[in-house]
Structure 1
Amino acid sequence: MGQGIIVKALSGFYDVLIGEDVYSCKGRGLFRKKKITPLVGDRVEIETQPDGTGTIIDIQKRQNELVRPPIANVDQVIMVSSVVEPEFNPLLLDRFLTLIEFKNIDPLIILTKKDLASDDQLSKLEDYVGSFQQIGYKVLLVSKHMDQLEKMVLPYLNNKLSVIAGQSGVGKSSMLNGLNEQLNIATGDISKSLGRGKHTTRHVELFQLGGGFVADTPGFSSLDFNEVELEDLRFCFKEFVEVQDQCKFRGCLHMNEPKCAVKDAVEEGTITPFRYEHYQSFYEEIKSRKPRYS
């Protein structure tokens, strides 16, 4: 018997780390009957065998779980976005941030390849960085060659389970390899025709790094809001939450309602217009979603 954490899941087998030992485990048949699927990040109890295998017999209550990627007990999402190649996309970054906020997980924004950007690109980027920092987000700027990467990033990993997420080709796997070259995670080239990186990460796996665990996740270039309802969306924008009590109507959705404090803040410049425009876009997307029937 022992308690550990699932660090890898592949084809019905689960690698469970206990101390410095890894056991290849299968789940109890009871899990299948109850339609419970063990996830990477789960804290579990296993029965071990002398040959290094084991059986997962219990899964502790999860603090949260993500569907894509399938992972549990996430403390922090490290949002990696590149300045160029592919070009910085604030709308895509806000899609990630909205979903991270919906799950009540802390984000850390890392912008890569700053040394490849032109002065004009860097100037525009500084405006965006300032806006995100004003909201209260932590933002790190790093170069393609990962100068001072360990000093900048590692302190944020200590005692946390972090997920690295972002558009394909922005340098997620390269960044992990830069932090620990022994990881040797496969990296993909940028597809010139699509402007996206090739998908190199095929499964979710936890790596021990900086006194914590980090998950490299399959790259993707779009995200949907299937779990987010219209009433939830306003709470995913931190700066809206700060002023929404000043709206005339309780439950204001900050769209067509009169005397809306959020819209007033946009007019006054205390809420950045691009953030409100993205909110409007996401609102319309969720509103036009086809109804789901259970």
Structure 2
Amino acid sequence: MKLAALTLLALCFLAANSLLTRAGVLDGTDPLAFAAIRVAAGAGVLALLAARRGITLRGGRRWGAALALVIYLLGFSLAYRTLDAGLGALILFATVQLGMFSLSLIRGERSGPVRVAGMGLALAGLVWLLLPGGGVQADPLDAGLMILAGLGWAAYSFAGKYEPKPLAGTAGNFLIGTAMFAAAFPIWWGAAITPFGILMASLSGAIASGIGYAMLFRVLPRMGVATAGVAQLGVPVIAMVAGAVLLGEVPGARAIAAGALVLAGIALATVKPYSKINSSGS
């Protein structure tokens, strides 16, 4: 029950990232500046949470996870220049699951025909979603950036699966990510920033990202790599519904159909089949 509650709360936080980023960028805040504020706010909160138990900053894996985090943040923020909150979340989610599935194959996890067929169905839904026309507003460049963000998140989630100290590792990742953005300060210095955008980026970093990722890292070690993302199945659904209610971004019929195809494929590929009845008949 505790695991289910943590997972549900983490889902809401992760879905909120799409809404907060879309709202902040629409208000006029530069995506690069938004990402920088977001990761810094997340680092601050996580550093406070992890201060008593220590923060993990060393090791090649730490820098690899931080780089994956930065790739995700950059692609995510830039993509929301044109993508609706729900559409962006769906592209991101599908890419994450396909990426993690591929990593599970590389790691040698078992993948039967049903799982392979499910991921094929999800990939078909994603391709259909990204095809031009049909009322789906997906700029090719920004859709590609969201796919890049999804690959970054997949790599980051994969690193979380093997994180021995979730909170300490997450804090370290965000602090190193903040340092990476600081090193690129001349690139985004002078970018447009609005007070509302600062608020949205701060909430996204401190609450939706910092605390949300800390929760996610507590859940991931208790799942297989290929099934780690199944708990995230509700993220794009939450984002689409909230985007329609809060931002007025109502998805079209094709987006809903393609999204349903993606989610159905992922569910087919990641949900474990029912256990066989044992020989005692109980």
TM-score by shorter chain over 0.5 = no
Structure number with greater CO (CA < 8 Å, separation at least 6) is 2
| TM-score for both structures, normalised by structure 2 | 0.28
More helix per residue: 2
Question: Highest CA radius of gyration, 1 or 2?
Answer: 1
More strand per residue: 1
